[in-house]
Structure 1
Amino acid sequence: MIAEVQRYSGTPRLMVPAFGLGALGLAATAAGAFVDPRATAHSYLIAFAYWVGIAVASLIMVAIFHTAKAKWMTVLRRAMESMAVSIPIFVVLFIGVALGLKHLYPWVPGSELAKEFTEVELGHLGHKQHGYLNTPFFFIRQAIYFGVWIFVSQRLHSWSTQQDEGGQLELTVKQRFLSPGSLPFLALTITFAAFDWMMSLTPLWQSTIYGVYYFAGSFLAAFCVLTLATINAQGDKNLYGNLVTTAHYHNLGKLMLAFVSFWAYIAFSQFLLVWIANLPEEAPWYHVRIFGGWQNLSVALFFLQFLFPFAVLLSRNFKLKQRNLAVMAVYLLTIHLVDLYWLVWPAYNDHGPSFHWTLITAFVGVGGTSVGFALFRARGKYTVPVKDPYIADSLRYVQP
């Protein structure tokens, strides 16, 4: 069966509409910036954090699988590599975040948001956090983050696709050497990126678990996207979908269950630590989300992002059916977006959930552009590592 797999031709029916929707979404969002720049900036930040989180989470998972010397997921690895190799487009898309800095962060010079702070709070922000929260250092950190992500993703993807030609074993050795060494840097950069992009929306709020909370949800979303891409790849002998067995789908379902649980564990740990400490600079962040207009959504997230999917994914029979996994993947991707909305939007409107049309246009714009770019980068490449030394083991994989 592996001999039937051909190079991906970049079918226009997916790539062209993705780029088209992306361009329309970004244009509409840019128009929204002239109407309501603050709402538009927050909408764009939610969309950016959503899609770049999936790309970076895919990169980290590829590195983890190489580090663990996992064989079963070899047939799925190229799809995750393609998701990860889309990271360079987010350097361009980050311009939207950069243009909205003064509408997002009170620590940016000239920001009107600073008026919402008392003199004591401004003094604390200026004297104790100015060394970190300042515009030049902010952009330096972004360059470091994207530099690390792009270097690792390009190296792993390049070695993997080069192996398709000659099957050199040393390329597997290189991937398995770089991956464990890169993991600490990948983990630290995504953690501090979460601090910079979202936690600093309310700069007096501090949580060392915040970054883990963000990439726990991103890991879950990455596996949901991988599941949908794999199911969509079936029916075309040129793609990898027909090589994926029920055992692989079962593992994807188990990974969804694992990261639903992991997200809930991190969310509860963060809440518990803040509740026990009850510090005046930390408690208000949760006070807004628990005792104000955000209370209903906060309670709903506990049931919708943890209890419901956890109970459903416990079923082995459920995880063995592709249609069930597809529905659950779409559901979890939607809830992950709601979760990011819950993280970011209270900084714009602390009275309760509200809607702004740029929430849709920004999501479509960033998402369409990144998906189109990922498909573009996959053109001319096999959708499965055809000469990886462990591809045969992956195709024969059965549940232990």
Structure 2
Amino acid sequence: MIGRLRQLAAARPRQTDAALALLIFVAAIATALLTEVDREISVAPGVTWPRIPLLALMTLPLAWRRERPLTVLLTVAAAAVAAGLLGYSTGAAAFGLVLALVSAAYYRGRTTTVVGSVVGAATIVFMLLVFPPPGDAVSSENTAFNVAVIVLALITGDVLRGHREALAELAERNRRLERLRDVEKREAVTQDRMRIARELHDIVGHALAAVTLQARAGQRLAPRDPAAARAAFEQIEEVASRALGETREAVGVMRSGAERAELRPQPTLDDLPELVRAVTTPEVRVTLRRPDGAGAALPPAVQASAYRIVQESLANVVKHAGPAAAVVTVAEAAGGGLRVEVRDDGRGDGASRAAGAHGDDRAEASRAGGSGIGGMRARADQLGGSLAAGPAPGGGWLVAARLPGARR
């Protein structure tokens, strides 16, 4: 029941305040019938007419206590002072003054609380000294009680205001956290999409480069060496089949729930020999140097990134270097971590080589097939490593990466 009343009051604050003001006014009229008409008459045959507008001024303005708390307080206080000067008992209307004090402190802040306490106490003392009640001596107990009521009402409003502000601050903090979580979710989705895009670029780019290279070799070998040509075409089938499976795996990551594909493990450094074998042809001869199985104990994320860097580098060799020999070196780095290098001696496109020798970024973009080197750098950066690519001393092209021993 109380919960429903609170919901109703929160939904219709003006109507609630108006009903409360009217209720206090009716209670004030009722109590006035049971009290003395003035301080000299001890019977109460009725309510004298000047008291009715004063009781109304002490109660009905409470309907606007939220919008104009100070105006309401001044109106109610002035009516209370007038009633006191005329010797009228206010009865239940005194609750209107208390509520006006609480509302002023609640809706206007701590300054109003302090000023209201001082002014209210001074006003009561002034009235009791200058206009003492007829026939009564000024009572210090009565004065202290009235001052205490004013101060406690203002303090109550101030405490409630502080509680409201704390709840509002907590709600705002929760909203900020929700917005931050939404931003983090969007950033995570963006990062996942970029990662998947890099995976697809590496998978498809390498596969197409290897297929193109093996197809050329098969065409040249078919007239004079059918067996070698057949082996090249079988290699095309193997590379294409593997690329198709890896593409399905990458796309499966984007699915959810029952639609999620059954994913295979990420490639590791132990898969490099198969990668080198798939790329090697009479035109592009690739040698793998991996002393003592370097990097075998590294985390899967580091091994997968190293594999993708080698894969993209070899795809670039196939696409841009022309007839060449390439050396893939995977070794333990000084101070820990992994050193990955892919060096080729191909000449490739003379224009791009010349531009690359002068540091033209367009040459790098050409060698990377658009975004390959950027993707490799992103992989290394994501792990806390580094990657450089450019013309090698003495000719050819060099991709050198340094990956940490653990993901940072």
Q: Do the two structures share a fold, i.e. TM-score over 0.5?
A: no
Smaller-chain TM-score bracket: under 0.3
Higher RCO (C-alpha under 8 Å, 6+ residues apart): 1
Structure with more strand by fraction: 2
Larger radius of gyration: 2
Structure with more helix by fraction: 1
